């Protein structure tokens, strides 16, 4: 039966009765009666329970946002099964809320971004590559409509130049194309919340969910924007902000183009992107003395100079105050002199190289790589590059008749074989049955058990024996109530005022780790283990969404299986009223991916909200 109810009156009554803490949400923390009666003509309908009441609230607001004054709805929608509802909201609502372009509308949104609060100029700088005349002319014309300033970048973008514009931060142009005589900006999906730019590795994991949901044009658009960044900025950027020009992100480009191609079968598109991916591999990752180390393995090395300007005020006080005190200066005086080059400090210079490299790794921050990131051959980075090499080999063999740009699949298979040998020599520890990061400066492995220790399963790098050992010995150490923790509690170490919690460490869990580990377990035939890990993660997301008005945030505490995470930057995606319009990018994707992999029997138990303790 359908009910037609007035939106504003019902919304006001519902919140007055059920939203007892006044946050414009209905959650388990509200103390209302949890029973609300709606009337439609002579018919009555009683809505009971936090989940159903919050669903009613959301549907009222969705209709209001469309300009409607009445909501026509069935009780079956209000009582929709949790997994169906969460998945439907992601597919039909959240992806739209996260879609952006660098066209006029997207630029207008970026002008209002809170990250521009430090901007001293009246207009937001839009930095355009030296050779992109189309973009330069496009943004120049927009200057009459929007508060932007179009700035042409130099031919060569050096760390010194990037430092020189840190006081004038702005956004970087992405791909524009001419369609039927009109300039259109290629779309992309953002993480959400305070992140309004296209981010590096976020984009790949978001694309997994987008492809599942049939939004191929968005996944393809992000690959096209990656190609633009490599062509014009020399790398896939941390994000399209000016202060990220010296910083890349974990390499997932080949995975993205392969998965898009599997849907589109556009060989001309694949050929173009494969050529660009090989260029990125050679010019970003395989430059000796930079991101390639002397042992033949790779590291992260963000090449910026000094303090990362995107960090919040006071973020580096702990390392800078002792330096200031030695010179009898206040913290602010010392920071100004250091930034302007009036005082030198080799310790800080080195510290900021490592700090920027942590951010390039995407794992910002973790005690696994704190203070030494650029000195480490990280397990996951070398696994990712092994996958690049095997992707190149397989694509050239399967799609290009074993010849591409003068290279054969054998050429890339040999590179992958050599990397695997080096990984087994330097990163595999047979006694611990684990992959560990390797410090190429001190010639030592770093015995830190992390979710990244399992990433070699994702790219089919481990032998069958190594896979068995990892699943038997390491997976149980990381498995918690809500899925895989960023690391073990033992590896993280004790937390104190002087040694605060880092967001990528225990007890927190992150979507990209889960997604890669699921696929890795399935690669090696560990179906039961994969189903359990997937169920735990989806249960945590679903239960929190049911209890907290549909909340799907950036990260979770997987030990307590809650979105209430208190570490460093807070938890993006929890600050909303009535309804979240976005969720969070890779969290959305992990949900859609997990649902696609979970068995029908476990999906039924998930809809019943059976806890993992009851299921396994």
- What are the two backbone dihedrals, phi and then psi, of residue 152, each rounded to the nearest 5 degrees? -85, 130
In angstroms, rounded to a whole number, what is the distance separating the alpha carbons of residues 86 and 550? 7
Q: In whole angstroms, what is the distance from residue 29 CA to residue 304 CA?
A: 45
23 a catalytic residue: no
Please give the Cα distance from 581 to 247 (Å, whole number). Answer: 30
Find the catalytic residue in 364, 389, 437, 547: 364
Are 508 and 492 within 8 A, CB to CB? no
E-assigned strands of 424-528?
A: 428-429, 434-435, 437-439, 444-446, 479-480, 483-484, 508-509
- In whole angstroms, how large is the CA radius of gyration of the chain? 25
Which of 132, 554, 557, 582 is an active site residue?
554
Contact indicator for 359, 237 with CB cutoff of 8 Å: no
- Half-sphere exposure of residue 377, counting CA atoms within 13 Å on the CB side? 28
For residue 187, give the 3-state DSSP assignment: coil
Active site residue 554: yes
Q: Could you give the residue ranges of the DSSP H alpha helices within 431-584?
A: 464-469, 475-478, 489-492, 511-523, 527-547
CA 391 to chain centre: 22
Angle made by CA atoms 59, 62, 65, in degrees to the nearest 5: 150
Collapsing DSSP to helix, strand or coil, 325 comes out as helix
CA distance 292 to 76: 57
Contact 573, 552 (CB under 8 A): yes
- Residue entry with tokens 């009109």: 182
* Residues carrying an active site annotation: 364, 554
């Amino acid at each position: 039966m359908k009910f037609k109810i007035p939106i504003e009156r019902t919304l006001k009554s519902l919140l007055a009765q059920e939203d007892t803490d006044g946050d414009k949400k209905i959650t388990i923390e509200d103390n209302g009666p949890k029973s609300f009666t709606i009337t439609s003509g002579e018919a009555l309908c009683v809505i009971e329970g936090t989940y159903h009441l919050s669903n009613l609230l959301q549907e009222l607001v969705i209709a209001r946002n469309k300009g409607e004054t009445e909501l026509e709805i069935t009780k079956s929608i209000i009582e929709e099964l949790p997994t169906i509802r969460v998945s439907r909201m992601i597919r039909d609502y959240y992806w739209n809320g996260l879609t952006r372009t660098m066209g006029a509308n997207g630029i207008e949104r970026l002008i209002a971004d809170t990250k521009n609060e430090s901007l001293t100029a009246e207009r937001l700088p839009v930095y355009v590559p030296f050779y992109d005349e189309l973009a330069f002319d496009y943004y120049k014309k927009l200057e009459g409509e929007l508060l932007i300033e179009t700035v042409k970048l130099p031919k060569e973008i050096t760390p010194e130049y990037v430092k020189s514009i840190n006081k004038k931060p702005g956004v970087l142009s992405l791909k524009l194309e001419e369609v039927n005589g009109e300039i259109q900006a290629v779309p992309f999906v953002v993480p959400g919340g305070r992140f309004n730019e296209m981010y590096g590795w976020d984009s790949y994991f978001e694309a997994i969910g987008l492809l599942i949901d049939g939004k191929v044009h968005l996944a393809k658009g992000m690959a096209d924007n990656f190609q633009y960044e490599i062509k014009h900025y020399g790398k896939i950027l941390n994000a399209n902000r000016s202060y990220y020009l010296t910083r890349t992100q974990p390499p997932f480009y080949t995975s993205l183009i392969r998965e898009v191609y599997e849907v589109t079968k556009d060989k001309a598109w694949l050929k173009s992107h494969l050529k660009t991916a090989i260029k990125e591999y050679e010019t970003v990752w395989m430059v000796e003395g930079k991101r390639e180390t002397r042992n033949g393995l790779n590291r992260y090395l963000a090449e910026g100079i000094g303090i990362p300007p995107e960090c919040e005020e006071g973020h580096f006080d702990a390392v800078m105050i002792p330096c200031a005190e030695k010179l009898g200066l206040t913290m602010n005086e010392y920071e100004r002199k250091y930034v302007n080059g009036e005082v030198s400090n080799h310790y800080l210079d080195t510290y900021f190289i490592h700090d920027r490299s942590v951010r390039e790794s995407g794992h910002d921050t973790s005690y696994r790589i704190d203070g030494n990131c650029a000195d480490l051959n990280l397990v996951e980075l070398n696994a990712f590059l092994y996958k690049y090499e095997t992707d190149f080999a397989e694509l050239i063999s399967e799609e290009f008749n074993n010849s591409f740009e003068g290279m054969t699949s054998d050429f890339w298979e040999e590179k992958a074989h050599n990397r695997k040998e080096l990984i087994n020599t330097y990163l595999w520890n047979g006694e611990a049955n684990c992959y560990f990061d390797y410090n190429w400066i001190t010639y030592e492995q770093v015995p830190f058990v992390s979710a990244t220790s399992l990433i070699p399963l994702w790219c089919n790098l481990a032998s069958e024996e190594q896979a068995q050992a990892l699943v038997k010995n390491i997976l149980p150490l990381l498995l918690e109530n809500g899925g895989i923790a960023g690391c073990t509690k033992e590896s993280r170490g004790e937390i104190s005022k002087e040694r605060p919690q880092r967001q990528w460490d225990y007890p927190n869990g992150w979507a990209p780790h889960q997604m890669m580990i699921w696929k890795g377990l399935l690669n090696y035939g560990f179906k039961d283990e994969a189903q359990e890990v997937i169920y735990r993660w989806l249960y945590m997301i679903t239960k929190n969404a049911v209890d907290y008005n549909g909340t799907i945030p950036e990260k979770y505490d997987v030990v307590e299986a809650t979105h209430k995470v208190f570490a460093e930057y807070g938890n993006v995606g929890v600050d909303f009223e009535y309804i979240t319009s976005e969720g969070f990018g890779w969290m959305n994707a992990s949900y859609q991916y997990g649902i696609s992999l979970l068995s029908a029997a476990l999906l039924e138990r998930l809809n019943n909200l059976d806890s993992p303790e009851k299921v396994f």
